[in-house]
Structure 1
Amino acid sequence: MSAPEEGDSAGVADSVPRRLLSVATRLFAEQGFDRTSVQEIVAAAGVTKGAMYHYFGSKDDLLYEIYARVLREQTERLEKFAVTEAPVAERLRSIASDVVVSTIVALDDTKIFFESMHQLSPEKRRTVRAERRRYHERFRGLIEEGQRAGDFRRDKPAEVVVDFFFGAVHHLGYWYRPSGELSAQDMGEHFADLLLASLRPDRPGS
């Protein structure tokens, strides 16, 4: 048998962290973060502890990365929509719909993280809160841009709108069911419609 080519080796190496994250997500969902041991994770993933520690320094790191990878992807997509030349309402609508869809696609990851976040080290909690705050601030910036342009009502602080919207998004893991009548895309459209309707300047001076 010939030795694996360089590309094959890279593919195998790349699959290890993904497999560990997939297994950790499932076990954390089934058993809880605190009741899942590193040994259970590596056994279910079919790797050694040494292999795990090559990529993740601790179980904390796995929990952090479960959510961080979702947030990184959402941030990349936010920036992609935010920098277009489309009207601000259209950009905000695309981002609002996208964050709902991507949250639902990664619903287990998001729910597990929010349920277990308090068990992270203080440093990890500060890091993820700072990263999430940067996303929310960019989102808020679009609302403020629309308010300055007169496209959005100005009588509601942008910070309140952001907190209200993301409070609903973060709650999806507790009630949304993929087997229900509404798809992720449907939910994205509904949430985006509600957000834009709440920002519409219906009254003079609003």
Structure 2
Amino acid sequence: MAEATVDEQRVPAPRPTVPRRLLAAATRLFAERGYDRTSVQEIVEAAGVTKGALYHYFGSKEDLLHEVYARVLRLQQERLDAFADADAPVERRLRDAAADVVVTTIEHLDDATIFFRSMHQLSPEKNRQVRAERRRYHERFRALVEEGQRAGVFSTATPADLVVDYHFGSVHHLASWYRPDGPLSPREVADHLADLLMRALRP
């Protein structure tokens, strides 16, 4: 195989698109300073774009706040749908989904922190939209629990709604204690929490 030329080796990586730069800047600033204390001017300066670009792609600072959380939820919804639709026993599908939401939350911990700290600052309309998106995710997760309960592989002693609240209560609490330099990796935390859920569901 021919070696790359010097010019080919020096080709820089593509620069992130304007929306991605705005989201990255907003996420960092919201996490560091808080949504209230971050101005539109600070966001555009950090992203290296104009205010016109921000308003073109997002419309407002509130739209940026909404997208910070929505992009992670979209990712998690796509992954949950893939696990739920897989050709595998329901125990495996639920455990995979339970572990995955932990890993993806930790991988986007700033986003989760911003959301739980600032969700109340969304307009009523956007707040309803976010709640509907979260509800769809939780309902798909709950359907896996109910499938296992109907099949007799999961205990029916605890209602499926409470099982979902139990697991996601742990997930939502991650932002308050998990540290990247701590003793547990994201996968180890995910395995522990997923195993706790599966043990709680044993008949």
Q: TM-score, normalised by structure 2?
A: 0.92
Output the CA distance in 1 between the equivalents of 2:14 and 2:56.
Answer: 14
Identity %: 69
Q: Deviations over 1:26-66 (max 9, x none)?
A: 11111110111101100111100011111101111000000
TM-fit CA distance, 1:186: 0.4
Gaps of 5+ in 2: 1-12
Equivalent residue for 2:174, pick from 166, 172, 175: 172
Gaps of 5+ in 1: 1-10, 202-206
Cα distance, 1:160 vs. partner?
0.5
Q: Which moved more, 1:26-35 or 1:92-101?
A: 26-35
Q: Distance in 2 between matches of 1:88 and 1:33?
A: 40
Separation (CA, whole Å) in 2 of partners of 1:13 and 1:126: 34
Cα offset for 1:125? 0.5
Equivalent residues, number: 191
Report how far residue 13 of structure 1 moved.
9.0
Equivalent position SS for 1:85: coil
Look up the SS of the partner of 1:171 in the other structure: helix
Matched ranges for 1:64-79 at <5 A:
64-79=66-81
Equivalent position to 1:62, from 52, 61, 64: 64
Partner of 2:105: 103
Number of the residue aligned with 1:132: 134
1:155 paired residue number: 157
CA distance in 1, matches of 2:127, 2:169: 18
Runs of 4+ in 1 over 3 A off after TM superposition: 11-14
The CA deviation string for residues 86-145 of structure 1, in whole angstroms up to 9 with x for no partner, is: 000000000000000000000011111110000011111000110000000000000000
Matching of residue 142 in structure 1 with residue 123 in structure 2: no
Distance 1:53 1:12, change over 3 A: farther
State the alpha-carbon separation in 2 of the partners of residues 31 and 188 from structure 1.
29
Structure-1 residue corresponding to 2:199: 197
**Normalised TM-score (structure 1):** 0.90
RMSD: 1.3
